[in-house]
Amino acid sequence: MRTLCLVIFCILGVSCLDQPPCLDSQNNRIEISFKSIDDNTDKTITVDSVYVSNPLFIVEKNIDIAGTEIPLYPDMNEVLIIIESASLQDSIKLQYEARPKLYSRECDVEMIFNEFSLEYTTADSIRLNLELIPPQIEIVF
Amino acid sequence: MAQNDTVRIEFRSIRLGIDGFGLIRSAVTPGLSTIEFNGELDMTKYILAVDLGRFSQEIDSLPRYNYDITGNYFRIGLDANFIPKDRDGSIIAFGVRYGRAGFDDRIDYDYSDSDLGTFSGMTAFNNDASASWLEAHVGMKARVYKGIWLGYRASYKFGLNIKSSEFEPFIIPGYGPGETNTDSDTTWGFNYYILIGLGKN
């Protein structure tokens, strides 16, 4: 018994645990898409601008798009998204939590954005899937 | 059953020990300081066990991040000895533990976003964070010389419950990796310890 104990002791002594791989959480964006109210298909519009306010970041400008991705500030807990086009003048304000996350000591720190909630919007019809990764907003018109 | 085959639950010894694995890790890992004391009340078939530990570590990976954690923990539980009649007094045991840790941790980091740029000097910290968990383990102890035991145990740790404020801790003292840096909510741990027995042995 004493010998068995010492042998297993040595075997376990040379074992090691692997570090998990670095992960890209893919949740540092909000996806916005435009949908047709008639058949719920993607709707391409010409936007004058899509931007985030305070601090200002212009996401899209003078382009035909059916959707876009909004980056999230890691040092804020809310985002005001403003969409300006000939057919659409809307703003959407969301609240969220941003927390750093370290997967492995070999990885960079990632930010986890969650606990999204709608504070207000001027859009007439909007569908929110804020539990998805990334969160999705559909503007229907 | 013959009378000499029965094993009564009776006091056999008290053992006090220290986790050698933690001492070795502290010696070879920069920034790590951990020490764990073990106490056992050997009642022949069953062993009441308590572990007390202190853990601190600084992981300096600047300029990407610097992570710093300090905390204390304990485990308490019961082992069942499968060979209570071993003539050397050796032990093969299955046991369960309840573990609990209290700690403070802090991370200083830079964060880069492909669109928004780099955010430097970001900080998050947890003051008075806590965690609890359960362990099931198998272990062996062999009396190598008179009242001195050498032992180890492999523990399956699960049921981790963390209470933190600003971010999920990377390390839980006494448990191992926080649940944020593994794909599952469980982990494995190893302890190698040297115990000194007091009593009948």
Contact yes or no for A4 and B107 at CB 8 A:
no
Q: Rounded to whole angstroms, how far apart are CA atoms A90 and A92?
A: 7
- How far away is chain A from the Cα of B170, in angstroms, using its nearest Cα? 6
Contact B67, B143 (CB under 8 A): no
Owner of token pair 């220290």: B18
The candidate with the shortest Cα–Cα distance to B141, out of A4, A63, A132, A104, is A4
The pLDDT of residue B188 is above 90: no
User: Under DSSP, is residue A25 helix (H, G, I), strand (E, B) or coil?
Assistant: coil
Contact yes or no for A1 and B86 at CB 8 A:
yes
**Residue A10: what pLDDT?**
53
The pLDDT of residue B191 is above 80: no
Contact B20, A10 (CB under 8 A): no
The answer, yes or no, to whether ipTM is higher than 0.85 is no
The pLDDT of residue B181 is above 80: no
User: For chains A and B, what is the number of CB pairs under 8 angstroms?
Assistant: 91
Q: Rounded to whole angstroms, how far apart are CA atoms A21 and B181?
A: 9
Q: Rounded to whole angstroms, how far apart are CA atoms B173 and B160?
A: 12
pLDDT band at B2 (very low <50, low <70, confident <90, very high): very low
DSSP structure string for A98-131: EEEE-S-TTSPPEEEEEEEEEEEE--SSEEEETT
- How far away is chain A from the Cα of B90, in angstroms, using its nearest Cα? 7
Residues of B with CB under 8 A from a CB of A: 59, 61, 64-65, 67, 83, 86, 88, 90, 92, 107, 109-116, 119, 122, 124, 140-144, 150-152, 154, 166-168, 170, 180-183, 188, 190, 192
Which residue of B59, B64, B187, B194 is the best one to mutate when testing the A interface, meaning the one whose CB has the most A CBs within 10 A? B64
Contact A121, A106 (CB under 8 A): no
CATH 3.40.50.300 fits B3-199, yes or no: no
pLDDT tens digits for range B7-57: 677 888 899 999 998 999 999 999 999 999 999 999 989 999 999 999 999
User: B117: buried, middle or exposed (CB in 10 Å: 19+, 13-18, 0-12)?
Assistant: exposed
The pLDDT of residue B157 is above 70: yes
pLDDT band at B1 (very low <50, low <70, confident <90, very high): very low
In whole numbers, what is the pLDDT of chain B averaged over residues? Answer: 88
The structural domains of chain A, with segments of one domain joined by +, span: 23-140
Q: What average pLDDT score do residues A9-32 get?
A: 63
Q: What average pLDDT score do residues A14-32 get?
A: 66
Residue A135 or B181, more confident:
A135
A3 membership: H or E segment, kind and range: helix A2-13
**Residue A23: what pLDDT?**
64
Contact yes or no for A71 and B113 at CB 8 A:
yes
pLDDT tens digits for range B113-143: 888 999 999 999 999 999 999 999 999 988 8
In chain B, what percentage of residues exceed pLDDT 70? 92
Q: Rounded to whole angstroms, how far apart are CA atoms A74 and B161?
A: 26
Q: Rounded to whole angstroms, how far apart are CA atoms A121 and A131?
A: 18
Taking only residues 45 to 104 of chain A, the set having a beta carbon closer than 8 angstroms to any beta carbon of chain B reads: 57, 59, 71, 73-75, 99-104
- Pairing state of beta strands A29-35 and A136-140? parallel
- For residue B190, which residues of chain A lie inside 8 Å, CB to CB? 12, 15
* Nearest CB to A2 within list B88, B111, B180: B88
pLDDT band at B162 (very low <50, low <70, confident <90, very high): very high
- Range in A3-17, A81-95, B184-198 the model is least confident about: A3-17
The structural domains of chain B, with segments of one domain joined by +, span: 3-199
**Residue A63: what pLDDT?**
93
pLDDT tens digits for range A40-84: 899 999 999 999 987 899 999 999 999 999 999 999 999 999 999
Q: Rounded to whole angstroms, how far apart are CA atoms B52 and B39?
A: 8
Contact yes or no for A2 and B119 at CB 8 A:
no
pLDDT band at A4 (very low <50, low <70, confident <90, very high): low
Rg (CA), chain B: 20
**Residue A24: what pLDDT?**
63
Closest-CA residue of chain A to B61: A105
- For residue A15, which residues of chain B lie inside 8 Å, CB to CB? 190
Residue B180 or B14, more confident:
B14
